[in-house]
A and B are shown apart, each in its own frame.
Chain A
């Protein structure tokens, strides 16, 4: 019996008296694209923080491919293959677009305790970086200073960095937020290409994208998962309709 790729058991998180994550348990099989939806403030981003290791949970455990990673911190989990993108774009604005991605490649290609040689001239790193940039649709912006990119292009870069870090589990926190229709289409196409090739946890508000891409969807409300299932099952679920749409007169 192969272990699920990602398993959450009884994850709880509170900030003082405020319970943000309420006993969340979830099993995600290998290469599934699992979307997480829910009203604003439901705690989706906080959950991603806990899976990636940015925040530690008050109780509960997280398993990656059967291995208990609860005690590992953010960089350690990233090295194990759990890579995230951020809801609020987090890049290195003074570095070039290419170098932003090359650094992610560097993180996974051998030791960075090398004190000689020009890092920005390493062909292998740059090639891999350029490939990632091409996947997200930014190859011609490679030499531009990342801070000068448009907001939508920065979201694309955010995704390229995550891809270049060789994830086995990709955690995407609203990757489409702030992108225009063209960039959005490119990213959705990319996600469709990635689908089935690696495990993806996707937080998104764009329902069309979610329902067309996801294998399964979980609905998070007030820190609790109220439903998990296929897109169709979720669409038909009365609790979900109430949570999202309020009282429905059917």
Chain B
């Protein structure tokens, strides 16, 4: 019974785990780096799905956390600190702090106003990054190399880095799964369905929503740390509102409120982007209408379509 529901995530993670072992295809640095990138954005999409899909909070500034994580790497590296054991906690801490402050303010608003305030904070983060002349400003900054893990330069190998990212993805996914079915997760899911009902039985929703907002921001900061390592480059371009929009698209593509969907959505978006851009310079010309069609005809994104095809019931 349980196994049937786990077929999808097991397949996804199985495929990801096995890829690097697939002979010459799996050893190709280019393939490994694309899939690593997919996994990094999958972490970001998972974190956004927590607040967007499960919390029904439409944040249009989520990319700011990618930037915060990335700049933690960049700024510390520029000062000679390349140790991940220091960079990761810093990235997580600053992300959490930013989420706490901006969340506390934003969550006082609702609807379109919430969207706009989160957008505003995202823009502020972007402009702050642009103003950091000492760290590349608008042009960004190249890193001296990938982060060191307890002194060891293991991430330099494309394959080792791949498995590192994979490990993080597994941990984040497991954490999200646990969170969503816990008491806390149930309150969040209930609030998405009927906030007034939840308040009427005694849940002061603000503190729950702020908590999940901080968790989501922190996880996305982790994705930012990985992103900076993957590209060995840090730039304010990681934090544009367009990038925040792309994260929303990934979550929507995969299907709102589905953790498997967040991974699939990130994969679909990035692989389509990669694949189409090799076919034609004008890939956006086809991608745009594709998005419109998905919205109009494929409700619930990829997971919605998957459920309709396999006739699976309303699992969560």
Contacts and interface: CB of A to CB of B under 8 A. Distances in A.
Interface of A: 52, 54, 73-76, 78-79, 83-84, 86, 90-95, 99, 103-104, 106-108, 111-120, 122, 145, 161, 164-165
A107 B197 CA distance: 12
The 9 nearest A-B residue pairs measured at CB: A78-B202, A107-B202, A114-B183, A75-B204, A79-B202, A119-B186, A104-B201, A92-B193, A119-B183
Contacts of A86: 197, 200
A92 B314 CA distance: 15
Nearest to B193: A92
A83 B179 CA distance: 28
Contact of A114 (B184, B189, B194, B197): B184
B131 interface: no
- Interface SS of chain B: helix, strand, loop or mixed? helix
Contact of B208 (A90, A93, A112): A112
Nearest to B207: A113
A133 to B, nearest CB: 15
A107 B182 contact: no
Contacts, number: 95
Nearest to A121: B181
A107 B183 contact: no
Contacts of B183: 106, 111-115, 117, 119, 122
A107 B181 contact: no
Contacts of B184: 112-115
Given A91-B194, A115-B184, A119-B181, 7 more contacts: A54-B196, A92-B197, A99-B186, A103-B201, A116-B178, A118-B181, A161-B201
Contacts of B236: none
Contact of A90 (B186, B194, B204): B194
Nearest to A101: B201
Given A112-B184, A116-B178, A119-B182, A93 B193 contact: yes
B202 A165 contact: yes
Contacts of B187: 103, 106, 112
Contacts of B189: 95
A93 B186 CA distance: 14
Contact of A75 (B185, B199, B314): B199
Nearest to A84: B200
Contact of B182 (A94, A104, A114, A161): A114
A99 B189 CA distance: 12
A54 B211 CA distance: 24
Nearest to A108: B202
